């Protein structure tokens, strides 16, 4: 009991000294333009993965609160859909500007709850904000068609219309950008939404919508319902099945995506699913090795490997394998500095929660027990706390190991030696994941063949980062359905209507 009291007092003290000054820190959900409690007043704590301190508490909302938010979004849609594209573009641009003015404030909230280093958090805010800017421009270019008709007295008119209320469920790894990438697009299209952010990172979502409110997003157009993991399934079910919802837009694990897709199917709802990947990072003999190594560091260790586009399997040609591993080892030693995200110089923060640490440790331990060799890392960095995992490089990985097939989602580079292009392609495509892939070569014919034959939604040639607001982001196979970013990202939130205009000669 005393210990408990001591713990609570310590948390409160840390909260007061560490977090009170955070500008955009909110402790309520956001529905109908107001900061709201849960109907039953329940709350849950949000903790800092670097030191387990409580950053704050937010409402633990249930179906009743989610239903209210859907009704509010549904009502708001009636007027928002009639706003002009220019009005929506102006609001998006204001939101973009406010986010840019508040990069530091948003980043400190983001680092506190996700653990990522401050520099990366700022990078995420700037990247996430670029979607608001891009969709502000795109809003005025959502156009229809007039198709030449086969009849002289008829016209075929094709127009695009906003779907309606969009349910949004987002993960913890990019808590800001996964919201702006969806909300920017759906607002441009004229839709409204209810967002359920991850239970690990609801504070960034609330900070983002505070700025949306300041930018003039009308009440009820964007709503945030916060829930603990305990309520995620029941609230998620309602967000998928309520008849007023037109589309479910989800970023997260393939397993949860599958559940949501099933529930959306009952109402024949539209879905946009950005799920897990299993990205190959293929290095051919002609590649510029220095560039391949620099890009490997980004593709693997950005956000500590907790990214669905993160390189998951390094396939290195046997003629350059040893040199690549030597260079990779050197770079990891120099560039991966583990510690709390707020400490200067740190490049790798904690993993987001204990579940992630257990998953990564389990995969590495299984591989090592089956003969994989640890070149660097391979353990929990206990001296820093129980959420820090050493940046790790594994070789001698074989198909019998779980890590060969699974998405690691952590700071572990798994390296496999291949003999020729056909083998590289076969290994790369031998997965149900199909999100990002990376190829390093100077052989132009090989570039075309790989771009053609890799079964992935995105292919980076000589580059380890592919995502940008202007390009369509998304996967095939079990990595998802639909695209985010680019004009396709806005079209996801529209329905096509065909109007036949007849008797035009009368
Ligand atoms: P992660 O492993 O990244 O946490 P999840 O897919 O488990 O990925 O979580 C992503 C989002 O999905 C989070 O907002 C989480 O609360 C939500 N979620 C998890 N389980 C369910 C579920 N059964 N129904 C609806 N949402 C869920």
| pLDDT over threshold 90, residue 471 | yes
Nearest-angstrom CA–CA distance, 223 and 501: 38
Question: Which residues have CB under 8 Å from 414's CB, separation 6+?
Answer: 312, 313, 314, 367, 394, 397, 403, 404, 408
User: What pLDDT shows up at residue 303?
Assistant: 95
CB 199 near ligand 1, within 6 Å: yes
- Domain membership flag for residue 505: no
DSSP 338: B
Q: Ligand 1 pocket check: which of 169, 194, 257 to mutate, most ligand atoms within 8 Å of Cβ?
A: 169
- The helix (run of H) or strand (run of E) holding residue 212 is helix 202-214
Q: What is the dihedral of CA 264, 270, 272, 278, to 10 degrees?
A: 60
CB 198 near ligand 1, within 6 Å: yes
> Which residue shows structure tokens 């239903």?
67
Instruction: Name the pairing type of β-strands 311-317 and 279-283.
Output: parallel
What's the average model confidence in pLDDT over 186-204? 98
CB 263 near ligand 1, within 6 Å: no
CA 240 → CA 56, 86, 91, distances in Å?
29, 30, 28
Q: Helices 118-138 and 85-101, interaxial angle, to 10°? A: 160
Q: Ligand 1 center to residue 139 CA distance, Å?
A: 30
Q: Ligand 1 center to residue 443 CA distance, Å?
A: 41
What's the average model confidence in pLDDT over 66-80? 98
> Which atom of ligand 1 is nearest the CA belonging to 196?
14
C-beta of residue 72 within 8 angstroms of C-beta of residue 223: yes
CB 275 near ligand 1, within 6 Å: no
Ligand 1 atom 22 nearest Cα: 233
- Domain membership flag for residue 224: yes
> Which atom of ligand 1 is nearest the CA belonging to 199?
16
Whether 157 and 87 share a structural domain? yes
> Which atom of ligand 1 is nearest the CA belonging to 355?
2
Ligand 1 atom 18 nearest Cα: 232
Q: Ligand 1 pocket check: which of 252, 264, 308, 358 to mutate, most ligand atoms within 8 Å of Cβ?
A: 252
Whether 146 and 21 share a structural domain? yes
> Which atom of ligand 1 is nearest the CA belonging to 235?
25
CB 259 near ligand 1, within 6 Å: yes
Whether 314 and 269 share a structural domain? no
CB atoms within 10 A of CB 473: 25
CB 169 near ligand 1, within 6 Å: yes
Nearest-angstrom CA–CA distance, 238 and 244: 10
Give per-residue pLDDT as tens, 86-136.
999 999 999 999 999 999 999 999 999 999 999 999 999 999 999 999 999
Provide the token pair at 262.
């099933």
DSSP 412: E
When pLDDT is cut at 50, 70 and 90, the band that residue 4 belongs to is very low
Q: Ligand 1 center to residue 249 CA distance, Å?
A: 12
Q: How many domains, the chain?
A: 2
Whether 79 and 30 share a structural domain? yes
When pLDDT is cut at 50, 70 and 90, the band that residue 506 belongs to is confident
What's the average model confidence in pLDDT over 343-357? 96
Catalytic positions:
274, 308
Give per-residue pLDDT as tens, 273-282.
999 999 999 9
- What does the DSSP assignment read for 128-160? HHHHHHHHHHHGGG---EEEPPSSTT-EEEEEE
Q: Which pTM was predicted?
A: 0.95
User: What pLDDT shows up at residue 382?
Assistant: 96
- Domain membership flag for residue 503: no
- Domain membership flag for residue 474: no
Q: Ligand 1 center to residue 256 CA distance, Å?
A: 6
Nearest-angstrom CA–CA distance, 230 and 126: 32
Whether 323 and 231 share a structural domain? no
C-beta of residue 81 within 8 angstroms of C-beta of residue 190: yes
- The CATH number of whichever domain residue 267 belongs to comes to 3.40.605.10
Provide the token pair at 258.
């599958």
- Domain membership flag for residue 64: yes
| pLDDT over threshold 80, residue 17 | no
Residue 283 pairs in a beta bridge with 316, 440
Whether 262 and 295 share a structural domain? no
Whether 76 and 220 share a structural domain? yes
Nearest-angstrom CA–CA distance, 166 and 244: 9
Residue 434 pairs in a beta bridge with none
> Which atom of ligand 1 is nearest the CA belonging to 171?
10
CB 252 near ligand 1, within 6 Å: yes
CB 236 near ligand 1, within 6 Å: yes
Ligand 1 atom 23 nearest Cα: 233
Give per-residue pLDDT as tens, 160-192.
999 999 999 999 999 999 999 999 999 999 999
CA atoms within 13 A on the CB side of 249: 31
Ligand 1 atom 7 nearest Cα: 253
Q: Ligand 1 center to residue 253 CA distance, Å?
A: 7
User: What pLDDT shows up at residue 19?
Assistant: 86
Domain residues for 163? Answer: 3-275+483-494
Which H, E and C letters describe 185-202, residue by residue?
HHHHHCCEEEEECCCCCH
- Domain membership flag for residue 499: no
CB 253 near ligand 1, within 6 Å: yes
Residue 100 in 3-state DSSP?
Answer: helix
Q: H helices of 222-353, where?
A: 229-241, 254-266, 289-301, 321-335
Nearest-angstrom CA–CA distance, 311 and 340: 23
Q: In angstroms, what is the C-alpha Rg of the chain? A: 24
CB 171 near ligand 1, within 6 Å: yes
C-beta of residue 115 within 8 angstroms of C-beta of residue 350: yes
What's the average model confidence in pLDDT over 28-57? 98
What's the average model confidence in pLDDT over 237-265? 98
C-beta of residue 272 within 8 angstroms of C-beta of residue 247: yes
Whether 307 and 389 share a structural domain? yes
Main-chain phi, psi angles of 3, to 5 degrees:
-60, -45
Give per-residue pLDDT as tens, 389-431.
999 999 999 999 999 999 999 999 999 999 999 999 999 999 9
Nearest-angstrom CA–CA distance, 113 and 48: 5
| pLDDT over threshold 80, residue 18 | no
Average pLDDT of the chain is 95
Lowest mean pLDDT among 18-32, 372-386, 389-403: 18-32
Q: Ligand 1 center to residue 505 CA distance, Å?
A: 56
- Domain membership flag for residue 506: no
Main-chain phi, psi angles of 132, to 5 degrees:
-65, -40
CA 329 → CA 97, 135, 155, 294, distances in Å?
41, 41, 65, 12
- Widest CA span of the chain, in angstroms? 88
- Domain membership flag for residue 502: no
- The CATH number of whichever domain residue 333 belongs to comes to 3.40.309.10
Nearest-angstrom CA–CA distance, 468 and 481: 18
CB 232 near ligand 1, within 6 Å: yes
């Amino acid at each position: 009991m005393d210990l408990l009291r001591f713990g609570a007092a310590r948390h409160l003290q840390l909260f007061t000294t560490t977090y009170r000054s955070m500008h955009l820190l909110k402790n309520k959900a956001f529905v109908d333009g107001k900061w709201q409690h849960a109907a039953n007043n329940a709350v849950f704590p949000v903790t800092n993965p670097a030191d387990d301190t409580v950053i704050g508490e937010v409402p633990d909302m249930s179906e009743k609160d989610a239903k209210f938010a859907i009704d509010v979004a549904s009502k708001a849609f009636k007027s928002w859909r009639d706003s002009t594209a220019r009005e929506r573009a102006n609001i998006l641009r204001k939101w973009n500007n406010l986010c840019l003015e508040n990069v530091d404030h948003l980043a400190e909230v983001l680092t506190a709850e996700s653990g990522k280093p401050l520099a990366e958090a700022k990078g995420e805010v700037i990247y996430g904000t670029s979607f608001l800017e891009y969709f502000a421009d795109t809003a005025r270019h959502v156009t229809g068609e007039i198709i030449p008709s086969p009849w002289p007295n008829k016209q075929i008119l094709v127009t695009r219309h906003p779907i309606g209320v969009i349910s949004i469920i987002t993960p913890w790894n990019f808590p800001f950008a996964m919201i702006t990438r969806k909300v920017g697009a759906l607002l441009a299209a004229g839709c409204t939404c209810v967002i359920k952010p991850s239970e690990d990172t609801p504070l960034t979502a609330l900070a983002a919508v505070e700025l949306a409110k300041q930018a003039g997003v009308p009440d009820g157009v964007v709503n945030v319902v916060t829930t603990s993991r305990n309520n995620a399934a029941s609230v998620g079910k309602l967000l998928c099945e309520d008849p007023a919802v037109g589309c479910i837009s989800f970023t997260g694990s393939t397993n949860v995506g599958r559940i949501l897709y099933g529930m959306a199917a009952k109402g024949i709802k539209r879905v946009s699913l950005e799920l897990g990947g299993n990205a190959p990072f293929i290095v051919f003999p002609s590649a510029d090795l220095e560039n391949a190594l620099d890009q490997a560091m980004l593709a693997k260790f950005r956000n500590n490997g907790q990214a669905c586009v993160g390189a998951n399997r390094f396939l290195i040609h046997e003629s350059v394998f040893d040199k690549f591993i030597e260079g990779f080892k050197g770079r990891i030693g120099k560039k991966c500095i583990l510690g709390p995200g707020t400490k200067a110089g740190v490049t790798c923060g904690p993993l987001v929660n204990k579940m992630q640490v257990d998953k990564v440790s389990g995969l590495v331990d299984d591989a090592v027990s089956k003969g994989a060799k640890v070149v660097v890392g391979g353990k929990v960095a206990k001296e820093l706390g129980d959420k820090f995992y050493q940046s790790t490089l594994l070789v001698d990985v074989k198909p019998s190991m779980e890590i060969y097939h699974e998405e690691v989602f952590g700071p572990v580079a798994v390296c496999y030696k291949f003999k020729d292009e056909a083998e590289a392609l076969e290994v790369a495509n031998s997965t149900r994941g199909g999100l990002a892939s990376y190829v390093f070569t100077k052989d132009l014919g090989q570039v075309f063949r790989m771009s053609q034959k890799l079964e992935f939604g995105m292919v980076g040639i000589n580059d380890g980062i592919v995502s940008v607001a202007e390009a369509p982001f998304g996967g095939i196979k079990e990595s998802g359905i639909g695209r985010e970013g680019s004009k396709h990202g806005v079209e996801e939130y529209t329905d096509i209507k065909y109007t036949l205009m007849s008797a035009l000669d009368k």
